[in-house]
Amino acid sequence: MAGLDDVFGDLYANVDAVVLFSPSGSYYERFTDVEDLDVIVIGTENAVGAETFVELPLAFDDIRERIRFGLEGAVEQGLIEDGDELVCATAAFSDSTSIDTLSRVRADAETHTGIYDLFVKSRAEPEVVKAVLELAIELGKKGQKGKPVGALFVVGDAGKVMNKSRPLSYNPFEKSHVHVGDPIVNVMLKEFSRLDGAFIISDAGKIVSAYRYLEPSAEGVDIPKGLGARHMAGGAITRDTNAITIVLSESDGLVRAFKAGELILEVDPEAY
């Protein structure tokens, strides 16, 4: 009679490493005794004292985001390489330390999405970056009253960004203390996206301004062909400041992120 190893053996046969997402100490110890097995722990903290660890800036409730981000972080740290076969063990139906789901994943070019660089190496708080990215994606899916819309969000280093931009109109957030991520505030941002100009958001998520015309030099900024002034300004301001920008394209509907003058992330809202 066949056993479970006969049925599921291919799932973990000939893997290069096992990746454990936020395991309990007892679960982790079961793997440390296995000979010739590389074990990588990924989580918001290294609660088990693992020698090989990748930190998540956020818990990532979506299991695909959790695995994608963790593997990209492992690649960035040189812990895995393209072509590696990995078994990822994580929690999908229970609390974060109760592993209940296994996935076999091959590290390849699709692992490198730019999302790790966007979250971990940005000046703004990870929760703020996530809130702005999700807002841009939602706006890309639904548009404004059913019509495609473009938007430019500049996140972090707000003081320097304000000095390199000028107002196009009255700033509705001048005397307010509202933050991105608040559902009511997000509705306001969606409404204001119909008009020209960039949104300026602080490291901590405070909406500093709307309707800003960015004035950085575009010299030396390389953006993909077909992208216009909004993307050029978004890329250039990140070269001259420590901000990142998240840009929703009105023409093709894609969401792009720029950092240090370079395009680091491109997302199709319909596939996110």
Domain with CATH 3.40.1380.20 in the chain: 4-112
What pLDDT does residue 192 have?
85
How many helical (H) and strand (E) elements, i.e. helices and strands, does the chain have?
8, 12
What pLDDT does residue 98 have?
79
**CA 198 to CA 230: how far, in whole Å?**
9
**CA 2 to CA 142: how far, in whole Å?**
50
Phi first, then psi: what are they for 256, rounded to 5°? Answer: -125, 150
Domain with CATH 3.40.1700.10 in the chain: 122-271
DSSP code, position 260: T
CATH code at 122-271: 3.40.1700.10
Q: Which CATH class is domain 4-112?
A: alpha beta
Which of 206, 229, 116 has the alpha carbon at shortest distance from 157?
A: 206
**CA 48 to CA 101: how far, in whole Å?**
19
- What's the CA angle centered on 60, arms 76 and 158, to 5 degrees? 75
Phi first, then psi: what are they for 100, rounded to 5°? Answer: -135, 0
What pLDDT does residue 96 have?
59
Q: Is the torsion defined by CA of 250, 253, 258, 262 positive or negative?
A: negative
Q: Is the torsion defined by CA of 61, 65, 66, 69 positive or negative?
A: negative
What pLDDT does residue 272 have?
66
Spans in the chain with pLDDT lower than 50: 1
- What's the CA angle centered on 78, arms 40 and 89, to 5 degrees? 25
What pLDDT does residue 80 have?
93
pLDDT in tens, 222-239: 777 778 889 999 999 999
